[in-house]
């Protein structure tokens, strides 16, 4: 395939995947912002109300908290020996009403946890894939190309999780997914990630990306879409199937056995 054909194909596939994404699974994502009453929590990803407060400290008589007074997250020290409370000017906290975790802000900047500024990874994304997803999210502002290349690696890891042969090239793995019966839209989404991520890793190529942060951001949505289609749908169907009465399931198994081609 020559460069022009790839470009045409990729652009077509991008438009298609964006359309599918926006129509089927676009859920409004509100990034964390200073003093906002509700946003998608950077810890749990849920759109939730946030309580805001300031941060204060107390000096202890013995010069520090002892280990038993510091909780696991090191956010809170407790002591009955406290002196006057001091307020740390410019340091604020927001507390998620869903997961109750603290985010720490210096002035209007979120410091902890690091602000990913992209949709959180899909809840069904395998851990080995979401690790790479987070890596990509951390660099997307500084390097959209780097993020795109990492998301291609994430896709490759996802194909392993879906049972594709790890020795195959990524193009062949997408072919394996086709053989497994994934929908043409998912295949297109995979190819957008594959081609864009590949081009991002080659400085001579400028297809699609051109240091375009928005394009890189949409790749995060695309990999979430692939997880939704390849993992979550099947999981939900299996759950619903398992809730059918046992007798009905046995009848279904019997019917399916009958329908299978007979061996010699
Ligand atoms: Zn939360």
Question: Domain spans of the chain?
Answer: 3-28+118-242, 38-112
How far apart are the CA of 226 and the centre of ligand 1, in A?
24
What local confidence, expressed as pLDDT, does residue 38 receive? 94
How far apart are the CA of 102 and the centre of ligand 1, in A?
8
What local confidence, expressed as pLDDT, does residue 13 receive? 40
Q: What are the pLDDT digits (tens) for 173-231? A: 999 999 988 889 999 999 999 988 887 777 655 555 555 778 888 899 999 999 999 99
- With both helix axes pointing from N to C terminus, report the angle between 184-200 and 3-24 in degrees, rounded to the nearest 10: 130
How far apart are the CA of 47 and the centre of ligand 1, in A?
8
How far apart are the CA of 182 and the centre of ligand 1, in A?
33
What local confidence, expressed as pLDDT, does residue 191 receive? 92
Residues in the chain predicted with pLDDT less than 70, given as ranges, are 1-28, 58-84, 115-116, 203-211, 262-264
What is the DSSP secondary structure assignment for residue 62, as one 8-state letter?
Answer: T
Is there a contact between 151 and 197 (Cβ–Cβ < 8 Å)?
A: yes
pTM over 0.75: no
How far apart are the CA of 75 and the centre of ligand 1, in A?
16
How far apart are the CA of 99 and the centre of ligand 1, in A?
4
What local confidence, expressed as pLDDT, does residue 83 receive? 58
What local confidence, expressed as pLDDT, does residue 206 receive? 52
How far apart are the CA of 225 and the centre of ligand 1, in A?
22
């Amino acid at each position: 395939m020559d460069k022009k054909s790839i470009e045409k194909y990729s652009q077509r596939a991008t438009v298609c995947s964006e359309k599918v994404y926006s129509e089927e699974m676009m859920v409004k994502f509100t990034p964390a912002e200073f003093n906002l009453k509700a946003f998608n929590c950077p810890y749990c990803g849920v759109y939730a109300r946030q309580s805001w407060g300031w941060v204060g400290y107390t000096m202890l008589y013995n010069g520090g908290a002892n280990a038993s007074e510091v909780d696991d997250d090191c956010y809170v020290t407790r002591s009955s020996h406290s002196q006057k409370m001091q307020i740390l000017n410019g340091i604020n906290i927001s507390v998620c009403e869903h997961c109750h975790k603290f985010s720490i802000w210096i002035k209007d900047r979120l410091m902890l946890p690091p602000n990913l500024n992209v949709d959180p990874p899909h809840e069904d994304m395998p851990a080995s894939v979401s690790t790479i997803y987070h890596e990509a999210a951390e660099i997307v502002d500084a390097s959209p190309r780097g993020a795109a290349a990492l998301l291609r690696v994430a896709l490759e890891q996802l194909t392993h999780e879906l049972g594709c042969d790890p020795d195959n090239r990524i193009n062949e793995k997408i072919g394996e997914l086709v053989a497994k019966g994934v929908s043409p839209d998912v295949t297109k989404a995979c190819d957008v990630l594959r081609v864009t991520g590949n081009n991002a890793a080659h400085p001579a190529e400028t297809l699609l990306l051109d240091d375009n942060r928005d394009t890189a951001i949409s790749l995060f949505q695309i990999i979430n879409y692939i997880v939704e289609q390849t993992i979550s749908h099947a999981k939900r169907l299996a759950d619903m199937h398992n809730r059918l009465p046992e007798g009905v399931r046995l009848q279904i198994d019997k019917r399916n056995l009958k329908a299978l081609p007979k061996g010699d």
